[in-house]
Structure 1
Amino acid sequence: MDRAFKALADDTRRRLLDLLRERGGQTLGELCRDIDMTRQSVTQHLAVLEAANLIGTVRRGREKLHYLNPVPLHEIQERWIDKFERPRLSALGAVKRRAEEAMTGKPAFVYVTYIESTPEKVWDALTDADLTAAYWGHSNVSDWRPGSRWEHVRTDGSGIADVVGTVVTRDRPHRLVTTWAAPDEEDRPDRHSRVTFEIQPHGDIVRLTVTHEDLADEGARAEVATGWPAVLSNLKSLLETGSPLPQEPWQVPGR
């Protein structure tokens, strides 16, 4: 978290984050048009932001696309802002505004978090029904073979699935790609979104990148904007401490 505060202390880097808040998925060239400095200098500032986990990047062909990563901001919000019972101000407010923007042909959201764990344990936490129930409030149920159906099932014993989809790619423990849909829209491919989990060793820890794209409308984008940071915070807590957060972050009173 020290890296995040040091990165945020620079006006140029804050300006870059503002630009990515306004429109995610920008290339270096696009960002340089709004920053009065050389490409080399902008590249150095982006490297600092990426090292602080404040931005995530995704390659699309030869292009490197940059996105605001809300996970560290969410952690700051949990650690300090929530202590004073204030509304979700800048961190998730910025993410929500970004969520309401349509982005055609590019990933809608890219989240990056670092977890003190192993790739195998992170994979199991995403695919094991009991583990997902412990931190997500739902059980992810499937045999996880490409082409198989998967379900996001409530843990209240009702057996109701709030999300269903298909396993597109399975490369344990590195990459999992699934489609997502509401059960009543399962037969409408135009309403399906796509989630990619990339699990990469990063020294002695793990870098988890979650890309959620092809969202159908503003309602879906708004839900994703608040959902993923909370889920990833709970996942990180479970793997690093053995327990999820003491209170589910999506059920904070008054939110």
Structure 2
Amino acid sequence: MDRVFKALADPTRRLLLDRLREQNGQTLSELCAHLGMARQSATQHLDLLQAANLVSVVRRGRERLHYLNPTPIHEIQERWISEFDAPRLAALSAVKARAEEYAMNDTAIPTYVYTTYIKATAEQVWKALTDADLTAKYWDHANVSDWQPDSTWEHRRNGSGELDVVGTVLEVEYPRRLVVTFETPGEVLPGGPSIVTYLIESDTDIVKLTVTHENLPNADFHRGISNGWPAVLANLKSLLETGNPLPTEPWDLAMAHTARQNT
């Protein structure tokens, strides 16, 4: 929390976050052009935002793309705000979401990026993402595939075996990078399927896991995964660090929170 508050205390860094909120996934050059700032100054500010986990960096070829990471702000909101003023804030949030929905009708749907840190090895995180038995423990679905390029993968619901998501494995770089399409069975979207990239970066016994979900079809889909990915990855983190998933399914809490906001 200290790093987060220190990063947010500077107006220039808040402006950088505002620019990423307006257009996520910008390069350093794009951010500098918008702000009229020297590259060295912008880099120093972005390094502090990245150290506070407020910004995630995704490499795309030679470019480094910068994305807002909502995790620290969400933790602040959960710790100090949500319990005490939830009804009024939920009403304001609903108004804001409706206004943003109208605004997004004429703009591209942003890419979703989420970063978390896990006390584990890269190999353990890779296995947790790809092993059918492990995914069934923390995701309530088994991810089934041989995880070879061009192979299919299936997201099978526990118990019924119903397929909620299917896709194709696009890239495999064990144990650091996995790219798959993310599709609803039988649905063909005009813009093609959305794409999920898992990036695993390790340093001794700590892993930085970044999930990027792009080519999203609409604002409703973006809102859905914005609730879903944090819940799933929190459960994965708990399983790897404690040996057990969270005692209550986190997506149930996320759905209940959304339902309260809409009532």
> TM over 0.5: same fold?
yes
Q: Residue in 2 aligned with 1:113?
A: 116
Partner-residue secondary structure (3-state), 1:152: strand
Indicate if the aligned counterparts of 1:153 and 1:161 stay in contact, CA closer than 8 A.
yes
Map 1:1-255 to 2 at 5 A. Answer: 1-35=1-35, 37-84=37-84, 86=86, 100=104, 102=108, 108-155=111-158, 157-185=159-187, 190-252=191-253, 253-255=256-258
2:108 maps to amino acid: A
Aligned residues: 247
Change (3 A) 1:131 1:59: same
**Structure whose alpha-carbon radius of gyration is higher:** 2
1:196 maps to amino acid: T
Aligned-residue offset at 1:84: 4.0
Q: Residue in 1 aligned with 2:261?
A: none
Structure 1 stretches lacking a partner, 5+ long:
none
Change (3 A) 1:97 1:234: farther
1:202 maps to amino acid: D
Q: TM-score, normalising length from structure 1?
A: 0.84
Partners of 1:175 and 1:125 in 2: how far apart? 13
1:144 maps to amino acid: W
Partner-residue secondary structure (3-state), 1:17: helix
Aligned-residue offset at 1:63: 3.0
Bigger mean CA deviation after superposition, 21-30 or 119-128: 21-30
Partner-residue secondary structure (3-state), 1:191: coil
Structure 2 stretches lacking a partner, 5+ long:
259-263
Partner-residue secondary structure (3-state), 1:224: helix
Change (3 A) 1:242 1:63: same
Which structure is higher in helix share?
Answer: 2
1:169 maps to amino acid: E
Q: TM-score, normalising length from structure 2?
A: 0.82
Indicate if the aligned counterparts of 2:121 and 2:204 stay in contact, CA closer than 8 A.
no
Change (3 A) 1:136 1:75: farther
Change (3 A) 1:97 1:210: farther
Indicate if the aligned counterparts of 1:147 and 1:166 stay in contact, CA closer than 8 A.
yes
Q: Which runs of 4+ in 1 moved over 6 A?
A: none
Indicate if the aligned counterparts of 2:189 and 2:217 stay in contact, CA closer than 8 A.
no
Change (3 A) 1:24 1:31: same
* 1:214-250 deviation digits (Å, cap 9, x = unpaired): 2222222222222222222222222222222332222
Bigger mean CA deviation after superposition, 143-152 or 107-116: 107-116
Partner-residue secondary structure (3-state), 1:184: coil
Q: RMSD value over aligned CA atoms?
A: 2.8
Aligned-residue offset at 1:128: 1.5
Indicate if the aligned counterparts of 1:113 and 1:207 stay in contact, CA closer than 8 A.
yes
Indicate if the aligned counterparts of 1:20 and 1:66 stay in contact, CA closer than 8 A.
yes
Indicate if the aligned counterparts of 1:191 and 1:215 stay in contact, CA closer than 8 A.
no
Aligned-residue offset at 1:75: 3.2
* 1:152-211 deviation digits (Å, cap 9, x = unpaired): 1112x11111100011222221111111110022x6684311111111113431111111
1:68 maps to amino acid: L
Percent same amino acid among aligned pairs?
61
